[in-house]
Amino acid sequence: MKPKYQVVWATVAENDLKEIIGFVSVESPGNALKILKKIKERASSLYTLPERGRIVPELQDQGISQYRELIVSPWRLIYRVAEHAVYVLSVIDSRRNVEDILLKRLIQKK
């Protein structure tokens, strides 16, 4: 039997998702709901086999390999697996510079 993981959303990831949905809903409320459902379903699917996501390349280049991502085009769902939980940490638009966004968030945490 494969272990099941609890999927936990970090506040910053929830805020990312709210921002995305708010932005899209201005032009297309129906499309915003579809995007919300798609992203939430992909995140929820991590309760089994969370290691299937790739290691975040920009972080791997810096020797950091504990963060993974799923692509929900054009967004990147960044998460970390720990014990029996999957922590969704960010939902970032892949058209933006992910390194800058993550660096800014790490600096703000200090």
- Please report which helix (H) or strand (E) contains residue 86, including its range: strand 85-93
Return the pLDDT at 107: 64
HSE of 99 in the Cβ direction (CA atoms, 13 Å)? 7
pLDDT (tens digit, 0 to 9) for every residue of the chain, 110 residues total?
A: 567 999 999 999 999 999 999 999 999 999 999 999 999 999 999 999 999 999 998 888 888 889 999 999 999 999 999 989 999 999 998 888 777 777 677 666 55
- Would you call 81 helix, strand, or coil by DSSP? strand
How far apart CA 57 and CA 94 sit, in angstroms, is: 12
HSE of 49 in the Cβ direction (CA atoms, 13 Å)? 6
The CATH number of 6-109, from 3.40.50.720, 3.30.2310.20, 3.40.50.970, 3.60.20.10, is: 3.30.2310.20
Q: What is the pTM of this model?
A: 0.86
